[in-house]
Amino acid sequence: MATQPIPAQHIPRQPDSRTRVNRVFRQGIDHLVTGLAILATVLVLIPLAAILIYLLYKGFSSLNLAFFTKIPAPVGETGGGMANAIVGSGAILALASLIGIPIGIAAGVYLAEFGQGKTFGTLIRFTADVLNGVPSIVMGIAAYSLIVAHQKHFSGFAGGIALAIMMVPTISRTTEEMLATVPHSIREAAYGLGIPKWRVVLSVSLRTASTGIITGCMLAFARVAGETAPLLFTALGNQFWSLNLNEPMAALPLQIYVYALSPYDDWHRLAWAGALVLIVMIMVSVTLVRIFAHRGTLKGGQ
């Protein structure tokens, strides 16, 4: 079957003025949108730069050794630090991680290894995503209603529970995603050796995906480390040393919130220093774990 040659006269040799205007117009729009996209990106980066630079400037100028070693000074006295808040944050976060990380990872393992294609698995996955979007203040009320209202007093324990609840959905979803990148051939090789499924999951799948899972846990940790709202009426805050999880406890974000809204200049200074310490703690922990997690683990799913 011969193809028909296209009659030459149908192709305009010289573009007439209308097509030229059209082309210039289209290219103009193209450049305009490119410019707008670049402008948008710059506009987004400006507040980020503004926040970080201002924070570094204000934070460093008000940071001193007393900040890390002293507890808050009474109203009217200058000086003092947030040592108790740093320790309190550490204790609350340790508790939250201790509860939230194992449950989160286990839920992720279920989603990836057992619940694939099951209705229940899809339901859990969906619920986790929805729970991820529930405001943190609601977690605070829930923890208050569950623990504080029964115990009749505020406690660091209740704050830890509220933060743990927030960690679970994030960790389970990243764990699932990371396990999904583990190649099936590795699992099949293990099954071929006669290893039971639980052992395969623990020593093969989780081991292979551990880099990503640790990163996911760190991100969840970083997210809850800066949370103030769930601690407002659970841990409450404390001006003194408190290492008892059964008592009101100071936490860094809480202290920043209270100090920022106070009328005293010296407390504002401490709030800036606290914000800087909080951000640095979050960033350093995330980066450190990323560096260490990249060492000595099997790379899966490339």
Partner 1 sequence: MREFLRTRGSGKLADNFFSAAMATCASSVLAIVIFIGVILVLRSQLSLHAFGWKFFVQSSWDPVSGQFGALPFIYGTLVTSFLALLMAVPLALGVAIFLTELCPNFLRAPISFLTELLAAIPSVVYGLWAFFVLVPLVRDQLGPFLVKYLGWTGFFDGPNFGVGMLPASIILAIMILPIISSLTREVMMAVPINQREAMLALGATRWEMIRTGVIRNARIGIVGAVILGLGRALGETIAVTMVIGNHPDIAKSLFAPGYTLASAIANQFSEATGDLYLSALIEVGLALFLVTIVVNAIARLLVWAVTRGAPARVH
Rule CB under 8 A: which of 67-96 touch partner 1?
none
| Contact flag: residue 183 with partner 1 (CB under 8 A) | no
Is residue 91 helix, strand or coil? helix
In the complex with partner 1, the residue whose CB is nearer, 1 or 194, is 194
Say if residues 274 and 259 touch (Cβ distance below 8 Å).
Answer: yes
In the complex with partner 1, the residue whose CB is nearer, 1 or 292, is 292
| Contact flag: residue 98 with partner 1 (CB under 8 A) | no
Shortest Cβ 14–partner 1 spacing (Å): 18
Integer Cα distance of 159 and 36 in angstroms: 44
Shortest Cβ 5–partner 1 spacing (Å): 22
> Binders of partner 1 among 218-247, rule CB under 8 A?
222-223, 225-229, 232-233, 236
Interface with partner 1: number of residues (CB under 8 A): 95
| Contact flag: residue 272 with partner 1 (CB under 8 A) | yes
Q: What are phi and psi of 114, to 5 degrees?
A: -115, -35
Integer Cα distance of 261 and 162 in angstroms: 24
Is residue 11 helix, strand or coil? coil
Say if residues 104 and 89 touch (Cβ distance below 8 Å).
Answer: no
Q: Which of 24, 98, 189, 261 binds partner 1 (CB under 8 A)?
A: 261
Dmax of the chain from CA atoms? Answer: 98
Q: Which of 61, 78, 145, 287 binds partner 1 (CB under 8 A)?
A: 145
Say if residues 66 and 134 touch (Cβ distance below 8 Å).
Answer: no
| Contact flag: residue 249 with partner 1 (CB under 8 A) | no
Say if residues 280 and 254 touch (Cβ distance below 8 Å).
Answer: no
| Contact flag: residue 197 with partner 1 (CB under 8 A) | yes
Q: Which of 57, 60, 68, 198 binds partner 1 (CB under 8 A)?
A: 198
| Contact flag: residue 53 with partner 1 (CB under 8 A) | no
> Binders of partner 1 among 9-48, rule CB under 8 A?
26-27, 29-30, 33-34, 36-41, 43-45, 47-48
| Contact flag: residue 138 with partner 1 (CB under 8 A) | yes
Six-digit token string for 166: 């927030």
Shortest Cβ 266–partner 1 spacing (Å): 14
**Binding window for partner 1 (CB under 8 A); candidates: 13-21, 65-73, 74-82, 217-225:** 217-225
Six-digit token string for 143: 């923890």
Strand partners for 249: 236
Q: What are phi and psi of 236, to 5 degrees?
A: 70, -40
Contacts by 7-13 with C-beta closer than 8 Å and gap 24+?
none
In the complex with partner 1, the residue whose CB is nearer, 2 or 62, is 62
Residue with token string 């969906």: 126
Q: Which of 256, 270, 273, 289 binds partner 1 (CB under 8 A)?
A: 256
Integer Cα distance of 48 and 195 in angstroms: 51
Q: Which of 87, 179, 214, 275 binds partner 1 (CB under 8 A)?
A: 275
Q: Which of 73, 137, 186, 293 binds partner 1 (CB under 8 A)?
A: 137
Six-digit token string for 123: 């339901």
